[in-house]
Chain A
Amino acid sequence: MAVDPKTILRDYARFMNDSTSWCVKESEREVEAICQTINLIMGDVERRTALSNQALGAVQGLKSRLEGRKAAEVDVKGLITELQKLSTVEKEMTELTQPVIEALQFQDRLRQNLENINKIVGHWIQWREVHKSKDIDPSVLQALGQKFLELTTSPEERDIIRRHIPGLAEEQKIDNALFF
């Protein structure tokens, strides 16, 4: 069978969506590997470091919550928050937990970016069907870019869109310190 020029972009977008959904599933397994890493670190901390009762309790609590838990059951954002709290309990914990927090943040952003780029591509394919035989007015292109911005989660994603779609307004920088 030949590739159908009328549907090829839609077909390829569907393939991309399914293939990257598989990647998101694989990233859950990566989260499982990170959880195993946390358990190994925490096990060593328990053995080697003289921890305060509070820190020891927190470490044991985290270990017991992670043990035997499947990747899909792990709430990555909740785990990051828990590790951030743990890192403030004892100074030594900060050094140990910080890289693991970073690894989890990478996974969270990876999943979000893949989900969002599929939404963006899906919207573009639909938009393209309507506009493919026309000269595209700058306001129409900006409306498309604006829709893309709404489909994102992070400022970094929005920066990517602005680098490629001309005429989109810069994001107002919000000083987080004012709100937290």
Chain B
Amino acid sequence: MASEHKTIESVDGMMLGLIDEYLKTVLGFAAGSVQTVLDTSASFLSQPAHECVKKFYDLYFNRQELQAKAESVNRHVDDLFEEAKALVTAGIGAVDNSAKTAEDEERLGLTGLQKQLEGVITLEDGVRERLSPVLASMQFEDSLRQRIEHIITGWPALMAALHSGDSKDLAEVGDSLGKLCSSQLEADLYFPQVLKESAPAALPGQSLVIEF
């Protein structure tokens, strides 16, 4: 295998696989860290508070889906190109919109648990201070996951568009990736650096927010 000459396209494919696996490993570290904080919190939270926050976490982060994604880490790099090409053909924005609808529904389903959590906070003395690091951990994983997943999506999509040689493809992918930005901070990096234009103002924040 190592004795054959490679084209730049095949080396790019290798790099996409490498970046994909590296970044998914990072997501695994973030999830591992938060899971450990969550497990540890059983020692300083009441049982109802711990169960409630654990349910909230499991539902919010949809553990099974994340595991399924992790299992696909080692898929062949050709798949990455194929997926990216399909994404370009369909338009990332369209794919993203359906994903966002599902995400919205999931978040709506969390409202009940969020209310329950707020109830626990009201009823239990001192729980606010004890929940604070656990919720901060969850918010950390949420915001990091969004940023990293955007980059995981971005590389193969850009590369496929670049290899297609069609500047329209590339422009469409660039715009579609801009729509993935989940915060003003992220957009303020992406738009000037990649699209060479100012970010649109007032992007809605999509991160996990638990107010108490």
Which residues of A line the B interface, CB within 8 A?
1-5, 8-9, 11-12, 14-16, 18-20, 22-23, 26-27, 29-30, 32-34, 36-37, 40-41, 43-44, 96, 99-100, 102-103, 106-107, 109-110, 113-114, 117, 120-121, 124, 128, 131-138, 141-142, 144, 148, 156-157, 160-161, 163-167
* B interface list, Cβ under 8 A from A: 1-8, 11-12, 14-15, 17-19, 21-23, 25-26, 29-30, 32-34, 36-37, 39-41, 43-44, 74, 77, 130, 132-134, 136-137, 140, 143-144, 147-148, 150-151, 154-155, 158-159, 162, 167, 170-171, 173-174, 185-186, 189-190, 193-197
Q: List B contacts of A33 (CB < 8 A).
A: 37, 132-134, 136-137, 140
Interface contacts (Cβ under 8 Å), in number, total 194
The answer for the CA separation of A4 and B195 in the assembled complex, in Å, is 8
With both chains docked as a complex, state the minimum distance between the C-beta of B175 and any C-beta of chain A, in angstroms: 8
Residues of A within 8 A of B151 (CB): 16, 19-20
A-side interface mostly: helix
Q: Is the CB of A99 within 8 A of B194?
A: no
Complex Cα distance, B73 from A156, in Å, reads 14
In the complex, which of the residues B5, B74, B133 contacts A34, with contact meaning CB atoms closer than 8 Å? B133
Distance of A130 from chain B, by nearest CB (Å): 11
CB distance from B208 to the nearest CB of A (A): 13
Instruction: Give chain B residues whose Cβ lies under 8 Å from the Cβ of A37.
Output: 37, 40-41, 44, 133-134
A144 to B55, CA, bound (A): 46
Cα of A100 to Cα of B152 in the assembled complex, Å: 29
For the complex formed, measure the closest distance between the CB of B109 and the CB atoms of chain A, giving whole angstroms: 26
Let me know if B193 and A18 touch, CB within 8 A: yes
> Which residues on B sit within 8 Å (CB–CB) of A156?
25
* Contact A29–B140 (Cβ < 8 Å): yes
* Cβ-defined partner of A142 (8 Å) among B2, B14, B30: B2
CB <8 Å contact, B36 and A160: no
